[in-house]
């Protein structure tokens, strides 16, 4: 997955880079490094597999659960 493809998924899911980082329990810096244009970090295969399966509604529910303290 390219940085642009990952960025497009985040836009489709209506979630910020910081919000996605929190959701998958990585640092916001890690997500920024995945998405940078110059020398990006390789996006983990698990993230590549996960992003196409998510929907905006599912992300909203997961974020709400996270904010409510329901891991």
The overall average pLDDT reported for the chain is 96
Q: Above 70 in pLDDT, residue 32?
A: yes
Boundaries of domain holding 39: 3-67
φ/ψ of residue 70, rounded to 5? -100, 95
Comparing C-alpha atoms, which of 37, 12, 39, 34 is closest to residue 24?
A: 34
What is the pTM assigned to this prediction?
A: 0.90
Confidence of residue 69 (pLDDT cuts 50, 70, 90): confident
β strands within the chain, DSSP E: none
CA distance 5 to 3: 5
Number of domains in the chain: 1
């Amino acid at each position: 997955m390219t940085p642009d493809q990952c960025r497009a998924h985040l836009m489709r899911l209506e979630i910020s880079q910081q919000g996605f980082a929190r959701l998958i329990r990585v640092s916001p810096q890690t997500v920024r490094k995945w998405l940078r244009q110059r020398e990006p970090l390789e996006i983990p295969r698990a993230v590549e597999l996960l992003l196409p399966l998510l929907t905006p509604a599912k992300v909203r529910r997961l974020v709400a659960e996270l904010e409510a303290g329901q891991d």
